[in-house]
A and B are shown apart, each in its own frame.
Chain A
Amino acid sequence: MSDQASSQAPEAPAAEQRFQTLRAVLANRLAVVGLLVLAALVVAALFGPQLAPYGINAIEVEDRFQSPSLDHLFGTDELGRDVFSRVLVAARVSLQVGAIAVGISLVAGVTLGLVAGFYGGRIDDVVMRVMDMLFAFPAILLAIAILAVLGPGLTNAMIAIGIVYTPIFARICRASVLSVREEVFVRAARSIGASDFRLLRLHILPNVLAPIIVQTSLSLAFAILSEAALSFLGLGVQPPQPSWGRMLFDGRGFIEQAWWMGVFPGLAIFVTVLAFNIVGDAMRDALDPKQRSVIESRGQS
């Protein structure tokens, strides 16, 4: 870790390093496929309503339970709505939840990890014990409990997922800070009178970013899975807004007569999460192979 940290000292040409990382990720063919899938998802999230062949709430009762065909690629649901259009448009919700929820955990977790690791002592003890406590709950259960308090809905689901994944960022960040803060360049900066804030922002943060970036990619996968699970339980996205988890929840009663209602939304979640995981793994291999055990210790939602 220390070798790696010192090799990433602020003096190192950052642009070249980024280029090298990108090249390593792109050399992994599976990761390229994952990136293409993610690019397609971003397009769906941005232009879903324009690309969808039917309106997401266009009810055509006479067309209900149509099996997949050229007219309706993924069939129609119990109200005759086009499943393909709904799956396409729901990409936005998933990516939005993923990005905002992980954004919350990232900011909160990294801040707590930086402070705990840098100051050590009692602050470290208190922060990390609270993180341990949050870790003692199964992630989805904690999210359910938070949503029970805040009430169901998209915004609250993002907050709940954000809180649930904060401890992993705090732990990873703190572990890296502990090794970086003793580096020569940090001590040198301190000796010339740099303030704590300056040390943290300019010298420590840039050198603990690698494992955090990797964790961000993997957490996006977990966050999307969690949102889907919460929506599936009826606690996340509320109708009529389409969400993959909610579509499975609504389609659950019709699976026997319309298998496509249960298959395609789930497939969308699966492919998205798989793509994030593959890209995350490739980034980890490129950026930070040593962090493997720490990152995987959380598993999925």
Chain B
Amino acid sequence: MARYVLRRAGQAAVVLLGVSLIVFALMQLVPGDPVRVALGTRFDQETYDALRARAGLDQPLPVQYAQYLGNALTGDLGVSFRSGQPVTASLLERLPATLSLAGVALLIALLIAVPLGLISATRSGKVSDYVATVFSQIGVSIPDFWMAILLIVLFTSTLGWLPPSGYVPFTEDPVDWLAHIVLPAVTVGVVSGSILTRFVRSAVLESMGQEHVRTATAKGLPGSLVLRRHVLRGALVPILTVTGVQLATLLGGVVVVEVIFAWPGLGRLTYDAVAARDYPLMQGAVLMFAAVFLLVNLLVDLLYAALDPRIRY
């Protein structure tokens, strides 16, 4: 087990290394001089030279990358061109808002997908299956930003129930936090939940066809017990895997939704960094997203053993 954990963590580290290389390479393709672009009208030679030297841009590329990587390993992702703040500090400041949004959205997605997928699979071919399929097809096809607009029109402009945008930390006022998080989290959650519904359905259908499930039913166990103890358990591993992979979709949705709801998370930060051509900040934010995704998938892989005793490492 320990060996498996190490190997899996090693693989994730290699992918992350590659990701950092891709992000670094992308930044080299920026036409023109990023520091000059970032300074814009505030350009003066002294600031320019200082920023360039500080970002290590006067060094050859491999040296720059090695330096970037070395610094990143010690938690130093450079300094924002715009604010002059360390990138790491800005990212960590925004991380809780994004994690809370992604967490609540994932919860909503699972609350939609698991019951709907179960109903759909256990009543395969019936009306409820059809309704669930139509729902998931609609959810998969609806643009998240459009849904956000519709929700704002309905719940804010028309009914006046919820605030249109903004963020209140949970520790400050849990009720207000909830009021602000509902619309963005529902937007992201419904889209991800619709995709997950399809997987839950097919995982449950597959699990229901297993021989041990047939045996359990044949020996007279009540349907709900078979479902809980045998079917769901068998379906858990594929559902978990897909949930991990779907996190990329969910995080992508978070980027767009944060912009619409003025949610001060990593997505909004990335968007603002792109708009301001603040490359160090953008580089750090993109890297952070990929790191979160890889970490979650690593955890998912490690959870398998706990869920499915057949899996041995």
Which residues in A have their C-beta under 8 angstroms from that of B31? 149, 151
A290 vs chain B, min Cβ distance (A): 12
Given contacts A266-B149, A293-B199, 17 further A-B contacts (CB under 8 A): A130-B18, A136-B19, A137-B248, A141-B267, A145-B274, A149-B27, A225-B141, A225-B143, A232-B143, A245-B143, A262-B150, A263-B150, A270-B143, A274-B141, A296-B195, A300-B140, A300-B195
A30 vs chain B, min Cβ distance (A): 9
Interface size class of B (residues with CB under 8 A): 35 or more
Q: How far is the CA of A252 from the CA of B262 in the complex (A)?
A: 13
Q: Closest B-chain residue to A281, C-beta based?
A: B137
Q: Give which listed residue, B149, B195, B199, B259, contacts A262 with CB less than 8 A.
A: B149
Over the window 175-209 of chain A, the binary record of Cβ atoms lying under 8 Å from chain B Cβ atoms (1 yes, 0 no) is 00000000000000000000000000000000000
Q: Are A300 and B153 in contact, CB atoms less than 8 angstroms apart? A: no
**Is residue A73 contacting chain B, with contact meaning CB distance below 8 A?**
no
Q: Are B146 and A145 in contact, CB atoms less than 8 angstroms apart? A: no
**Is residue A233 contacting chain B, with contact meaning CB distance below 8 A?**
yes
Q: Are B141 and A137 in contact, CB atoms less than 8 angstroms apart? A: no
**Is residue B270 contacting chain A, with contact meaning CB distance below 8 A?**
yes
Which residues in A have their C-beta under 8 angstroms from that of B293? 136-138
Which B residues between 134 and 176 are near A, CB-CB below 8 angstroms? 137-138, 140-146, 149-150, 152-153, 157
Inter-chain contact total with CB atoms closer than 8 Å: 152
Which stretch in B48-56, B76-84, B249-257 binds the other chain? B249-257
The secondary-structure label for the interface of chain A is: helix
**Is residue B191 contacting chain A, with contact meaning CB distance below 8 A?**
yes
A226 vs chain B, min Cβ distance (A): 9
Q: How far is the CA of A269 from the CA of B142 in the complex (A)?
A: 8
B286 vs chain A, min Cβ distance (A): 5
Over the window 83-96 of chain B, the binary record of Cβ atoms lying under 8 Å from chain A Cβ atoms (1 yes, 0 no) is 00000000000000
Interface size class of A (residues with CB under 8 A): 35 or more
Which residues in A have their C-beta under 8 angstroms from that of B15? 129, 132-133, 136
Q: Are B242 and A145 in contact, CB atoms less than 8 angstroms apart? A: no
Q: Are B29 and A149 in contact, CB atoms less than 8 angstroms apart? A: yes
Q: Closest B-chain residue to A137, C-beta based?
A: B290
B101 vs chain A, min Cβ distance (A): 14
Which A residues between 264 and 301 are near B, CB-CB below 8 angstroms? 266, 269-270, 273-274, 277-278, 281, 292-293, 296-301
Q: How far is the CA of A256 from the CA of B279 in the complex (A)?
A: 35
B89 vs chain A, min Cβ distance (A): 21
Q: Are A255 and B289 in contact, CB atoms less than 8 angstroms apart? A: no
Instruction: Given A141-B252, A259-B153, verify A229-B195 contact (CB < 8 Å).
Output: no
Q: Give which listed residue, A138, A148, A228, A281, contacts B289 with CB less than 8 A.
A: A138
Q: Give which listed residue, B18, B143, B246, B289, contacts A266 with CB less than 8 A.
A: B143
17 contacts between A and B (CB under 8 A): A132-B15, A133-B18, A136-B248, A136-B293, A137-B286, A140-B255, A144-B271, A145-B23, A148-B282, A151-B31, A252-B260, A259-B153, A266-B149, A296-B198, A297-B242, A299-B248, A301-B249
Which residues in B have their C-beta under 8 angstroms from that of A262? 146, 149-150, 153
Point out which of A144, A232, A292, A300 has the most chain B C-beta atoms below 10 A from its C-beta: A300
Which B residues between 91 and 150 are near A, CB-CB below 8 angstroms? 137-138, 140-146, 149-150
Which B residues between 257 and 292 are near A, CB-CB below 8 angstroms? 259-260, 267, 270-271, 274-275, 277, 279, 282, 286, 289-290
Which residues in A have their C-beta under 8 angstroms from that of B248? 135-139, 299
**Is residue B30 contacting chain A, with contact meaning CB distance below 8 A?**
yes
Q: Are B270 and A229 in contact, CB atoms less than 8 angstroms apart? A: no
Q: Are B252 and A148 in contact, CB atoms less than 8 angstroms apart? A: no
Q: Are A266 and B137 in contact, CB atoms less than 8 angstroms apart? A: no
**Is residue B216 contacting chain A, with contact meaning CB distance below 8 A?**
no
Going nearest first, the 4 A-B pairs with the smallest beta carbon separation are A266-B146, A138-B252, A274-B141, A133-B18
**Is residue B231 contacting chain A, with contact meaning CB distance below 8 A?**
no
Which B residues between 1 and 17 are near A, CB-CB below 8 angstroms? 14-16
**Is residue B245 contacting chain A, with contact meaning CB distance below 8 A?**
yes
**Is residue B294 contacting chain A, with contact meaning CB distance below 8 A?**
yes
Over the window 222-239 of chain A, the binary record of Cβ atoms lying under 8 Å from chain B Cβ atoms (1 yes, 0 no) is 000100110011110000
Q: Are A149 and B26 in contact, CB atoms less than 8 angstroms apart? A: yes
Which residues in B have their C-beta under 8 angstroms from that of A59? none
Q: Are A145 and B195 in contact, CB atoms less than 8 angstroms apart? A: no
Q: Closest A-chain residue to B17, C-beta based?
A: A133
**Is residue B63 contacting chain A, with contact meaning CB distance below 8 A?**
no
Which residues in A have their C-beta under 8 angstroms from that of B256? 140, 229, 232-233
Instruction: Given A144-B274, A148-B277, verify A274-B150 contact (CB < 8 Å).
Output: no
Instruction: Given A133-B15, A299-B249, A300-B249, verify A145-B149 contact (CB < 8 Å).
Output: no
Q: How far is the CA of A263 from the CA of B150 in the complex (A)?
A: 7
Q: Give which listed residue, B138, B195, B238, B271, contacts A233 with CB less than 8 A.
A: B271
Which residues in A have their C-beta under 8 angstroms from that of B14? 129
**Is residue A248 contacting chain B, with contact meaning CB distance below 8 A?**
yes
**Is residue A52 contacting chain B, with contact meaning CB distance below 8 A?**
no
B284 vs chain A, min Cβ distance (A): 12
**Is residue B217 contacting chain A, with contact meaning CB distance below 8 A?**
no
Which residues in B have their C-beta under 8 angstroms from that of A9? none
Which A residues between 129 and 162 are near B, CB-CB below 8 angstroms? 129-130, 132-142, 144-151
Q: Closest B-chain residue to A134, C-beta based?
A: B22
Over the window 117-137 of chain A, the binary record of Cβ atoms lying under 8 Å from chain B Cβ atoms (1 yes, 0 no) is 000000000000110111111
Point out which of B141, B192, B202, B286 has the most chain A C-beta atoms below 10 A from its C-beta: B141
**Is residue A44 contacting chain B, with contact meaning CB distance below 8 A?**
no
Which residues in B have their C-beta under 8 angstroms from that of A277? 137, 140-141
